[in-house]
């Protein structure tokens, strides 16, 4: 019985292969005679059913008939295929052709970075704030503890619209505006365009995006500041990115700090991006200077806080390895399209 | 500020760290060091050579043949074109097979037939100075064959320190050494100069005016000049500085000039005290008067420029005219020259604000003014004066005449700042013991008093004008303790009371929609030429772009042109930004806008589809979509022919619910776009963003009864707006008229002259029942007769 079934199976396989291989009607007819004809092997096998023991005959017969039917069906199908012209065959869709598309848009790389930064700070309870781009010198300098006759004011070369009206040199004036309007707790991030009198070159533009942050409440300390900034660095640049804080000077923070991260390109080995130091400067920050609180009418004994600011273009350039800041402002569609999937 | 590592170690003998370790320490605890440069770069192989003889070259007028002793058995022969080579002089020598700092490989070669084994070098070739004209003759005696690095003290590092404006004390080597020496201030000492001449001077203190060595010194403006010290040295010989001083100055990137000038420069960089030497013979009186300039007075400064002065400026004058700009620069007429015999030395403290104002007014920068503006140490004057006197006596001879006069109408008083250790802990988040606080502050010159009821009285050293408040001291503690020693532990925080800016949501939605429509976000320059804006900058970067943009669209169109010029035909740009317009006051009005420009195909090319460019119907859809997002309730309608006709064709306007025009859109006339012939039409829109939440959604039950639809083909005169027809249908239709839309507009044959056929589909539905045909027919009849009556619009074929 086993022998019978295995011969049947072998015959089904070889028969199917022979039918599929036939490439012309007369060739197919030869195959038919060999397999299904009067003297063919299948016919002989079917006759052999009778010689099996009585008990095995129904199963063997059924299996043999199934093979016969399937071979006949295959034969008919192949016969139809071989007699039809190519144009009559079932239409074949070539799915390697492209689909019908729509244009894809893209956010500007600075927006991508801004949104991501704001989202991370949102996890820490910060909401977005905004303010005017043309500012009084009071908001841009005085409120932020930067007297105009102090050399610190030279650090930012300023565009003037009138004697006491400037294009804001940083987003920090929004700090003062928000604090004048709201009482603590304050937790804000401020993305926006800022202006400095720097001519265009590979790393400078006279108008560029900045993002600023401010947290004010009772009991906020340098420890909270370090924790929040480190949280951001890890979320934005990756868990294995190292952060270092080093002294700096900004008139509106004290203690002031410059925040460096381990170089994203060389991971601290030293390369041209980090000028061989292994570190990249990413933000200026610090504890809010009490003079700023005094200027906006907050009790500087009761409230403390921290603030930070960074150049969005610079961060975008680091993240996407853009070599020249001017690419951000040229609006070349071949550049902007690269961010459609970002 | 350039700092020499060797110089630092001389002032602070306890400093043992390497230059890079010092740089790291300074960066982590005080101010950043941008670079550490090894000055001996490429100079390892150079030696001192002594020229034994100089002979004419037999075949060339401009060349000479030198025999140079470089410490070997035989002198080497060097052929040089240097204009002056002195027999017996010492020179830097580089031999064949060796390279100069610039990478130039020296080869043995024949010059006009005479072999030359090496080369005598100029300062520039060594990378230590600017002088390229001649080879560098060394002054004094040297050991022949000695490595140049040691001979010229070039085995040194230059630290490029980025001194922040709050740290004037770090603008001299003494202050930097104080910051870095393990024991701080107590470890510092002033080393002797080679061949130091000592001078026991006595100081004559006066309030406003005094006389020394026949020179009257008077302060007329004590506010501008609280302290002025003067001294007279007679019988000096002006000449070049010795090599040690030249080396020192070159190490920090300065050029040696002459002994007296170099001496003032040396003390400036050592003790951070600007100094000036006058040629005493040129001072009329002789008198030195510190006063306000008189209106219209003039002075030619050392840089050769004629300056017109005003009374806001402080000058040093003799009995008649100004001789120097106080704190900025000396005058040409009183400058020390090679013929100068007697000197008047100035060592003063000038008010930072006054110096700053004058420096700004005259656009005059100098090492001196940079330091005065930041504030020097008023109590450091006597030591700097003594150092300068001894250095000049050492270098230029002569003798001190009379007392050193110290005119001091406003003596400084040490600042006292109260520091509460509890406040230190409160702000820094870590409790620090008074002992720890003391250990942070005392090495750098602060005197920390006893703890009285939880506060410490801290005396601030006079070289730290930046320390005025408790928080300034807390920063000192934090940085001296080390920022990295504070933990960064996340603690709970309260949610903010500030409500998020209302534009944020609008920006977000608009960006989503524009990107969904296939637009690329651009950021364009806000600076535009006159004509594209009416808000002028007082100090623009460049002349043509001296205004702020009045709209975003113009800039975006330029970006479309930029892309067309680069062969791009399919361009879709949008920008969210601020436009400025002049207002009644000095503050311009800012308007937040969304603008977009696009041209080319409506979709990427596809093998099945015909290329199809954007048209006005796309414009209308896009504008309608963004308008209501930009300003909830805003409506789009065709612009009045009078509006924008010059700037946009097929113009549409966006109207606010209050009737104000919020924006415009249309096709740019060909004349307005610099486009190649293959470019498509350029479409544009700009709309003001006025935040506000879009209307809330109120769910309506879904219909349960079937709708009945009827088509209505109407003959409408071509001049008539189809919207008018729609309005009449809507007005006269029953409450069951659920919706209506145009599904075909036909113009052409078989129509009466001047008309078009507009096919409407009307959908009727009742909420509570199935409508009957009769009901709908009646409604339709009412509509058609109203159309006939009110608009003279007939049903086609009726
Ligand atoms: Zn790197």
**Nearest chain B residue to A228, by CA:** B490
| Distance from C-alpha of A300 to C-alpha of A316, rounded to nearest angstrom | 36
**Nearest chain B residue to A226, by CA:** B488
Nearest to A331 among B167, B471, B562 (CB): B562
Q: Is the pLDDT reported for residue A89 higher than 60?
A: no
Residue that has been written with the tokens 């074109």 in this structure: B81
Nearest to B428 among A98, A152, A221 (CB): A221
A270 CA from centroid of ligand 1 (Å): 4
Give chain B positions within 8 Å (CB) of A166: none
Which residues, other chains included, contact B711 with Cβ-Cβ below 8 Å and sequence gap of 6+? B743, B759, B760, B761, B762
Give chain A positions within 8 Å (CB) of B524: 329, 331
**Which positions of chain B have pLDDT values less than 70?**
129-133, 642-646, 694, 798
**What are the tokens at B490?**
């996340």
Burial of residue B797 (number of CB atoms within 10 Å: 0-12, 13-18, 19+): exposed
Q: Determine how many CB atoms are found less than 10 A away from the CB of residue A100.
A: 11
| pTM of the predicted protein model | 0.84
Q: List the one residue out of B334, B379, B325 whose CA is nearest residue B354.
A: B325
Cα-based angle A126, A128, A132 (whole degrees, multiple of 5):
140
Give chain A positions within 8 Å (CB) of B30: 247
Cβ within 8 Å, pair A108-B523: yes
Which residues, other chains included, contact B691 with Cβ-Cβ below 8 Å and sequence gap of 6+? B502, B503, B505, B506
Burial of residue B572 (number of CB atoms within 10 Å: 0-12, 13-18, 19+): buried
Chosen for mutation from A133, A164, A246 (greatest number of chain B CBs closer than 10 Å) is: A246
Nearest to B484 among A167, A245, A331 (CB): A245
Chosen for mutation from A138, A161, A183 (greatest number of chain B CBs closer than 10 Å) is: A161
Q: List the one residue out of B652, B651, B197, B664 whose CA is nearest residue B396.
A: B197
**Nearest chain B residue to A118, by CA:** B504
Q: Is B133 on the interface with A (CB under 8 A)?
A: no
Question: pLDDT tens, A209-250?
Answer: 999 999 999 999 999 999 999 999 999 999 999 999 999 999
The residues pairing with B700 across neighbouring beta strands, listed in sequence order, are none
Cβ within 8 Å, pair B541-A206: yes
A280 CA from centroid of ligand 1 (Å): 7
Q: How far is CA B18 from CA A60, A249, B2, B25, B180, in A?
A: 95, 26, 16, 10, 12
Contact status, residue B551 vs residue B595, Cβ threshold 8 Å: yes
Question: pLDDT tens, A189-202?
Answer: 999 999 999 999 99
Give chain A positions within 8 Å (CB) of B559: 330-331
Tally C-beta pairs within 8 A across A and B: 265
Nearest to A103 among B498, B563, B603 (CB): B603
Q: How far is CA A340 from CA B132, B506, B757, in A?
A: 55, 21, 44
Give the domain ranges of chain A: 2-89, 109-338
Q: What is the pLDDT of residue A62?
A: 80
B180 CA from centroid of ligand 1 (Å): 27
Identify the helix (H) or strand (E) that includes residue B745.
strand B737-746
Q: What is the pLDDT of residue B96?
A: 84
Chosen for mutation from B493, B517, B543, B562 (greatest number of chain A CBs closer than 10 Å) is: B493
Question: pLDDT tens, B124-144?
Answer: 777 776 666 678 888 777 888
| Distance from C-alpha of A14 to C-alpha of A17, rounded to nearest angstrom | 5
According to DSSP, the β-strands at B215-219 and B287-292 are parallel
**What are the tokens at B512?**
């989503």
Q: List the one residue out of A229, A230, A238 whose CA is nearest residue A211.
A: A229
Q: What is the pLDDT of residue A95?
A: 86
Q: What is the pLDDT of residue B413?
A: 86
Q: Is B27 on the interface with A (CB under 8 A)?
A: yes
Q: How far is CA B422 from CA A291, B187, B419, in A?
A: 20, 31, 9
| Distance from C-alpha of B427 to C-alpha of A218, rounded to nearest angstrom | 10
Q: Is B567 on the interface with A (CB under 8 A)?
A: no
Provide the strand spans (E) within B280-321.
Answer: 287-292, 298-300, 306-308, 314-317
Cβ within 8 Å, pair A333-B607: no
Domain spanning A109-338: CATH 3.30.930.10: yes
Q: Is B590 on the interface with A (CB under 8 A)?
A: yes
Cβ within 8 Å, pair B30-A247: yes
* Residue B213 CA neighbour count, 13 Å, CB half: 21
Give chain B positions within 8 Å (CB) of A132: 587, 590
Q: How far is CA B203 from CA B381, B385, B401, in A?
A: 12, 10, 12
Q: Is the pLDDT reported for residue A100 higher than 60?
A: yes
Burial of residue A163 (number of CB atoms within 10 Å: 0-12, 13-18, 19+): exposed
Question: pLDDT tens, A127-170?
Answer: 999 999 999 999 999 999 988 777 666 666 899 999 999 999 99
Cβ within 8 Å, pair B373-A151: yes
Min distance B437 CA to chain A CA atoms (Å): 15
Cβ within 8 Å, pair A152-B165: yes
Question: pLDDT tens, B479-491?
Answer: 999 999 999 888 8
Q: Is the pLDDT reported for residue A320 higher than 60?
A: yes
Q: Is B482 on the interface with A (CB under 8 A)?
A: no
Q: Determine how many CB atoms are found less than 10 A away from the CB of residue B365.
A: 13
Nearest to B164 among A165, A228, A249 (CB): A249
Q: What is the pLDDT of residue A49?
A: 75
Min distance A225 CA to chain B CA atoms (Å): 7
Chosen for mutation from B166, B369, B512, B559 (greatest number of chain A CBs closer than 10 Å) is: B166
The span from the first CA to the last CA of chain A, in angstroms, equals 66
Cβ within 8 Å, pair B538-A162: yes
């Amino acid at each position: 019985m086993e022998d019978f079934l295995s011969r049947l199976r072998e015959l089904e396989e070889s028969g199917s292969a022979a039918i599929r291989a036939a490439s012309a009607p007369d060739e197919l007819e030869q195959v038919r005679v060999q397999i299904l004809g009067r003297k063919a092997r299948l016919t002989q096998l079917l006759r052999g059913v009778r010689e099996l023991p009585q008990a095995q005959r129904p199963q063997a017969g059924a299996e043999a008939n199934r093979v016969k039917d399937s071979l006949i069906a295959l034969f008919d199908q192949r016969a139809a295929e071989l007699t039809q012209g190519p144009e009559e065959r079932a239409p074949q869709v070539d799915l390697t052709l492209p689909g019908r598309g729509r244009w894809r848009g893209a956010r500007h790389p600075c927006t991508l970075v801004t949104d991501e930064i704001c989202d991370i700070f949102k996890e820490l309870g910060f909401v977005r704030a905004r303010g005017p781009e043309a500012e009084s010198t009071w908001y841009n300098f005085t409120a932020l503890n930067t007297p105009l006759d102090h050399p610190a004011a030279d650090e930012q070369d300023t565009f003037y619209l009138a004697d006491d009206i400037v294009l804001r040199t940083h987003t920090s004036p929004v700090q003062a505006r928000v604090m004048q309007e709201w009482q603590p707790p304050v937790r804000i991030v401020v993305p926006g365009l800022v202006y400095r009198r720097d001519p265009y070159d590979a790393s400078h533009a006279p108008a560029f995006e900045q993002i600023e942050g401010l947290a004010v409440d009772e009991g906020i300390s340098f420890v909270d500041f370090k924790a929040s900034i480190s949280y951001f660095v890890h979320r934005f640049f990756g868990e294995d990115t190292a952060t270092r804080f080093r002294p700096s000077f900004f008139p509106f923070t004290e203690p002031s700090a410059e925040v460096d991260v381990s170089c994203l390109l060389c991971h601290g080995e030293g390369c041209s991006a980090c000028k061989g130091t292994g570190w990249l400067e990413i933000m200026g920050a610090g504890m809010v200077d009490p003079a700023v609180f005094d200027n906006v009418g907050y009790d500087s004994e009761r409230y403390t806080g921290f603030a930070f600011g960074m150049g969005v273009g610079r961060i975008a350039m680091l993240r996407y390895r853009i070599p020249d800041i001017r690419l951000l402002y040229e609006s070349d569609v071949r550049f902007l399209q690269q961010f459609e999937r970002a | 500020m350039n700092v020499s590592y060797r110089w630092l170690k001389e002032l602070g003998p306890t400093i043992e760290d390497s230059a890079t370790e010092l740089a790291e320490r300074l960066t982590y605890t005080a101010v950043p060091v941008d670079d550490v440069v090894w000055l001996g770069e490429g100079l390892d192989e150079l030696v001192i050579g002594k020229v034994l003889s100089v002979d004419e070259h037999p075949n060339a007028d401009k060349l000479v043949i030198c025999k140079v002793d470089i410490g070997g058995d035989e002198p080497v022969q060097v052929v040089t074109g240097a204009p002056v080579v002195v027999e017996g002089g010492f020179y830097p020598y580089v031999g064949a097979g060796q390279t100069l700092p610039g990478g130039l490989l020296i080869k043995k070669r024949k010059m006009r037939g005479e072999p030359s084994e090496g080369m005598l070098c100029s300062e520039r070739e060594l990378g230590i100075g600017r002088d390229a004209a001649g080879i560098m003759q060394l002054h004094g005696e040297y050991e022949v064959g000695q490595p140049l690095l040691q001979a010229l003290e070039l085995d040194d590092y230059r630290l490029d320190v980025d001194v922040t404006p709050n740290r004037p004390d770090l603008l001299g080597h003494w202050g930097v050494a104080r910051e870095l020496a393990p024991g701080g201030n107590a470890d510092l000492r002033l080393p002797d100069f080679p061949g130091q001449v000592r001078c026991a001077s006595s100081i004559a203190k006066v309030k406003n005016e005094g006389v020394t060595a026949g020179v009257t010194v008077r302060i007329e403006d004590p506010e501008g000049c609280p302290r002025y010290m003067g001294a007279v040295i007679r019988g000096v010989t002006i000449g070049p500085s010795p090599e040690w001083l030249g080396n020192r100055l070159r190490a920090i990137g300065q050029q040696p000039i002459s002994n007296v000038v170099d001496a003032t420069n040396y003390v400036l960089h050592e003790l951070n005290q600007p100094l000036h030497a006058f040629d005493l013979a040129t001072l009329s009186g002789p008198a030195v008067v510190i006063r306000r300039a008189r209106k219209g007075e003039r002075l030619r400064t050392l840089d050769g420029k004629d300056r017109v002065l005003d009374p806001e400026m402080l000058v040093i004058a003799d009995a008649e005219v100004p001789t120097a700009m106080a704190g900025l620069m000396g005058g040409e007429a009183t400058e020390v020259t090679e013929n100068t015999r007697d000197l008047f030395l100035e060592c003063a403290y000038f008010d930072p604000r006054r110096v700053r104002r004058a420096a700004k007014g005259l656009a005059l920068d100098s090492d001196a003014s940079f330091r005065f503006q930041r504030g020097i140490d008023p109590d450091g004057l006597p030591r700097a004066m003594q150092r300068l006197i001894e250095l000049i006596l050492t270098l230029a001879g002569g003798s001190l005449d009379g007392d050193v006069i110290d005119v001091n109408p406003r003596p400084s008083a040490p600042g006292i700042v109260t520091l509460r250790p509890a406040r230190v802990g409160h702000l820094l988040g870590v409790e620090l013991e008074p002992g720890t606080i003391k250990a942070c502050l005392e090495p750098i010159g602060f005197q920390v008093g006893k703890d009285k009821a939880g506060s410490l009285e801290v005396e601030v050293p006079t070289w730290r004008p930046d320390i005025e408040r408790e928080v300034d001291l807390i920063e000192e503690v934090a940085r001296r303790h080390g920022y990295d020693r504070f933990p960064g532990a996340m603690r709970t925080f309260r949610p903010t009371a500030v409500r998020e800016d209302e534009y944020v949501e609008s920006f977000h939605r608009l960006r989503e929609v524009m990107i969904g429509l296939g637009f690329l976000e651009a950021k364009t320059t806000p600076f535009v030429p006159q004509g594209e804006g009416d808000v002028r900058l007082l100090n623009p970067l460049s002349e043509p772009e001296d205004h702020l943009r009045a709209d975003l669209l113009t800039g975006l169109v330029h970006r479309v042109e930029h892309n067309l010029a680069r062969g791009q035909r399919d361009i879709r740009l949008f920008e969210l930004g601020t436009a400025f317009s002049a207002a009644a006051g000095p503050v311009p009005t800012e308007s937040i806008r969304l603008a977009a420009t696009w041209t080319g195909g409506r979709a990427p090319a596809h093998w099945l589809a015909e290329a199809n460019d954007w048209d006005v119907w796309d414009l209308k859809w896009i504008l309608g979509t963004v308008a209501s997002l930009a300003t909830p309730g805003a409506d789009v309608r065709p612009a009045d022919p009078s509006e924008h006709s010059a700037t946009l064709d097929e113009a549409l306007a966006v109207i606010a619910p209050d009737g104000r025009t919020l924006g415009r859109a249309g096709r740019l006339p060909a004349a307005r776009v610099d486009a190649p012939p293959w470019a498509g039409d350029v479409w544009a829109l700009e709309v003001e963003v006025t935040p506000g939440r879009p209307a809330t959604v109120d769910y309506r039950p879904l219909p349960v009864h079937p709708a009945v639809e009827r088509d209505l083909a109407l003959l409408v005169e071509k001049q008539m707006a189809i919207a008018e027809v729609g309005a009449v249908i809507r007005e006269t239709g029953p409450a069951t008229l659920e919706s209506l839309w145009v599904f075909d507009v036909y113009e052409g044959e078989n129509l009466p002259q001047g008309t078009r056929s507009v096919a409407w589909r009307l959908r009727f539905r009742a909420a509570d029942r199935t409508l009957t045909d009769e009901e709908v027919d009646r409604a339709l009849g009412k509509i058609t007769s109203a159309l006939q009556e009110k608009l003279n619009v007939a049903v086609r074929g009726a």
